[in-house]
Chain A
Amino acid sequence: MKRAKFKKEALMLLPLYLFTLVFIVGPLVYMVILSFLQRAETWGVTSEFTLKNYLDILEPVYLQTFAESFKLAIISTVLIMLIGYPFGYFMAKLTAKWKKRTMMLLMIPFWTSSLIRLYGWIIIFRANGVFDKMLMGLGITDAPLKLLYTYPAVVVGMVYALLPFMIFSVYSSAEKLDWSLIEAARDLGASRIRAFLTVTLKLTLPGLLSGVILSFIPSMGLFFIADILGGNKVVLVGSLIQNQLMKAHNWPFAAALAVILTILTSVMIALYRKLSGVKDLEGIV
């Protein structure tokens, strides 16, 4: 009797499990298989097993792409952290009414199409655009800087696109913070800095780390930001994968790159879980 009852409700899981198996497990498994296959001379793949795709990644050109992409991701993430952490922290200290208002003001740009926001930066950065005019107007420079299609433009684009994730993560951590603990530390004679480092930072670490992951991982894959703001000067791992798929048609190589990126991502998430002791990423939904 009990068994039959359980089975009926398990049927509710069927659509989710079927979809997951067919459209998520299936494609991911195929990606791994594909990464070990030999590329065919003209089109598609042969069924020959090979490690060539992985060895190709070790070529200086591609290693450099990985290194550059990492560098960009690190620079962006550090900037996002420096800007986003105080924001989330201060926001958690606001009164309930202002918390709500600030959240609303954050949600509007966050929900606005990322392309609209990217386009705004084109207007700002293009030669003789808003930024150049402003600088020249203030007499800081006397010639247009032409920042569009440069490295800094891409960094700004990344920081701008991913900052909300850091803010939401830090905020949701800092919101739960028991402020009396900090007071206690201060009462017991800890300096402001000491109290921050030993109490506040430690307790908001899950949020901070979650924000780091949520900004670091996408900043290796958001090829359209590098594309639009960086011209073809900044190549991310994401751009490399896209090029190998759509232009070079070397699918096995693209698959190998994706496998490596997936492994990197999983390692980071596993590290996060270990360091923070939290199972789900803070503030992800």
Chain B
Amino acid sequence: MKNKTYLPNIYLGVILLLMYVPIVLVILYSFNESKISSVWDGFSLKWYEELFRDRSLFESLRNSIILGVASSCAAAVIGTLGAVGSSKVQMRGKGVMEYISTLPIMIPEIILGMVFMVFFSLIGLPFGMMTLIIAHTAFCIPYVFMLVKARLVGLDKSLEEAALDLGASKIRAFFDIVLPLIAPAIASGMLLAFAMSFDDVIISVFVTGVDSNTLPLKIYSQLKTGVTPKINALCTLMFVATILLCGLSILLGREKKPKKPAENV
């Protein structure tokens, strides 16, 4: 009987382990001397050296970072204003507009990519960084919007009212009271948005221009044509960055805790 209780944990462990196998292999082979990934020729750092000499890879990394930062920041502003605004205003059609604005994470990415491509060429917007930022902002907004909205629901309204009663202007009350309270939600929304943007292949394929290769697009084309362990090295570095980002998001989530008892008082 007692054995039975361990089975679920073993199951969880095995599935988790399987999730890491592909990632671990990529990392392992980044230190492989041989060019062919089916042979192990000994430990080497030469692919990292080659990686740092590759200018085009760094350019696409730069593009990806610019794109991720720009679209998650734009989404933070638009999404936060929208969520706060919608918590204060009652009007017709609000529900419909909210539904449409969160569509980009509901409909298949392929459709989003295709409609952006045909629409941008209809209005004559040249394909490049600008089109990428607009398209990415579109699917980044819902993350910020939904998280901030959920946070606002749990928020104590009397805090803002108190500030207003004590003579603060609405703008002052927003920046001094509301914004600090919803800041963790904005931050985790932005982080999620950045991660999604940084990883996006499908939508980017459709709206990119000749001189705006992003990192995922670059890796994608190399995976299709033939890879060198340089990509392993790059993936390993990206994985390290991911873990750092994960840690950051946990730290952001932790901040909520000490505040909770204070809110209850």
Contacts and interface: CB of A to CB of B under 8 A. Distances in A.
Contacts of B110: 221, 223, 237-238, 241-242, 258, 261
A25 B227 CA distance: 40
Contacts of B141: 16, 19
B108 A221 contact: yes
Contacts of A152: none
Contact of B114 (A160, A254, A284): A254
A108 interface: yes
A126 B22 CA distance: 13
A64 interface: no
A285 B115 contact: no
A108 B246 contact: yes
A264 B25 CA distance: 38
Contacts of A16: 78-79, 81-82, 85, 97, 101, 141, 145
Contact of A129 (B20, B37, B249): B37
A24 interface: yes
Interface in A93-110: 93-94, 102, 104-109
B122 A30 contact: yes
B97 to A, nearest CB: 6
A188 interface: no
Nearest to B200: A114
Contact of A13 (B81, B104, B216, B231): B81
B152 interface: no
A113 B202 contact: no
Interface in B15-36: 15-16, 19-26, 29
Interface string B107-123: 11111001111110010
B192 A285 contact: yes
Interface size class of A (residues with CB under 8 A): 35 or more
B182 interface: no
B contact face: mostly helix, strand, loop, or mixed: helix
Nearest to B223: A228
B29 A87 contact: no
Nearest to B201: A224
Contact of A242 (B79, B198, B205): B205
Given A102-B16, A129-B38, A285-B147, A113 B242 contact: yes
Interface of A: 6, 8-17, 19-20, 23-28, 30-31, 34, 83, 86-87, 90-91, 93-94, 102, 104-109, 111-124, 126, 128-130, 133, 160, 163, 217-218, 220-224, 227-228, 237-238, 241-242, 245, 251, 254-255, 258, 261-262, 265, 269, 281, 284-285
Interface of B: 8-9, 11-12, 15-16, 19-26, 29, 37-38, 77-79, 81-82, 84-86, 88-89, 91, 97, 100-101, 103-111, 114-119, 122, 134, 137-138, 141, 143, 145-147, 150, 170, 192, 195, 198-199, 201-202, 205-206, 216, 219-220, 223-224, 227, 231-232, 235, 238-239, 242-243, 245-246, 249-250
